[in-house]
Amino acid sequence: MTTSLPAFTTIQLTRRDRLLTLTFNRPEAMNAFNLAQHDELPEALTFASADPHSDVLVLTGAGRAFSAGGDIAHIERNAAHPELFDHEARQAKRIVFTMLDIEKPVVCRMNGHAIGLGATLALLCDVVFAAEGAKIGDPHVGLGLVAGDGGALLWAARIGLARAKEYLLTGDLLTATKAAEIGLINHALPAADLDAAVDAFCDKLLAGAQQALRWTKLLTNMELKRAAAALMEAGIAYESLSVRTADHREGVAALKEKRAPKFGG
């Protein structure tokens, strides 16, 4: 008998046999993270990690985006009251370390744009399948913020320091096709083919030797976890500092007013 799935307001969990799917479920906001989603995701991931009735986890988004990153109203609130970011910082660390600790394979179905924290979550997955029309990027610097919630860790691990610095220091977005070409993600394919590709790959994993798969993942994640232990505390601390700057407030104002920011340093 399988256990019932927990209910959340911003995340939906569904099960197909031994495949568990976690869907970011704020389609009207392109699955951008507000406070509730920051709080619910660690709980949903903890459940998924320990769930004895699933062997593979899929992360995806409802609607046309995987996740657009931070919700603008949420970001604006933190800019006005930066002490509130400290709670979010703790949650960000929980999200990263919980995902790194999940032993079962985690597959990303990147159905649309993955921006900022959305990109971090996609890149924390073991294998990423993306629709060709999707874009991925970590534009923290465009808001006067440090890419401290996983970007500095994951981009360098996937594509090397030189390319990671180029994209993190500019905040430029990549098409899924370009991201696949440089090895940031695994596959970019037509949106119409995305579900079939993800299902076929998950079915292949589900037919495999589960302990061998989990222990192989555990082994390959050891170096990434070591790096995360070294980087995440500093990353969150630097991002917390940048939340308190005039440049961040200018970045938020520019985003709301749909203009280029005028940073003062």
189: enclosing H helix or E strand: strand 187-189
Residue 247 lies in a domain: no
Please tell me the predicted confidence (pLDDT) of residue 8.
98
pLDDT computed for residue 2 by the predictor: 60
pLDDT score recorded for residue 90: 87
Q: Is residue 265 part of a domain?
A: no
Of 54, 49, 53, 89, nearest to 221 by C-alpha is 49
Predicted confidence pLDDT, tens digits, the chain (265 residues): 566 899 999 999 999 999 999 999 999 999 999 999 999 999 999 999 999 999 999 999 999 999 999 898 889 888 889 888 888 888 999 999 999 999 999 999 999 999 999 999 999 999 999 999 999 999 999 999 999 999 999 999 999 999 999 999 999 999 999 999 999 999 999 999 999 999 999 999 999 999 999 999 999 999 999 999 999 999 999 999 999 999 999 999 999 999 999 999 7
Distance of CA 134 to the CA centre of its chain: 14
What length is written for the chain? 265
- Domain containing 109 equals 11-192
Domain contains 244: no
Which is it for strands 187-189 and 127-131: parallel, antiparallel or unpaired? parallel
**pLDDT score of 1:** 55
Q: Pick from 19, 72, 22: which is nearest to 45 by CA?
A: 22
Per-residue pLDDT, 180? 98
228 within domain boundaries: no
Helix residue spans in 160-245 (DSSP H): 161-170, 176-181, 191-206, 210-243
Would you say residue 242 lies in a domain? Answer: no
pTM of the model: 0.96
Residue 83 φ then ψ, to 5°: -65, -25
Render the burial of 221-250: b for 16+ CB within 10 Å, e for the rest.
beeeeebbeebbeebbeebbebbebebbbb
**How many domains would you assign to the chain?**
1
The answer to the question of residue 98 being in a domain is: yes
In a domain, 53, yes or no: yes
CATH number, domain with residue 151 = 3.90.226.10
Residue 44 counted as domain residue: yes
Distance CA 89, CA 84 (A): 9
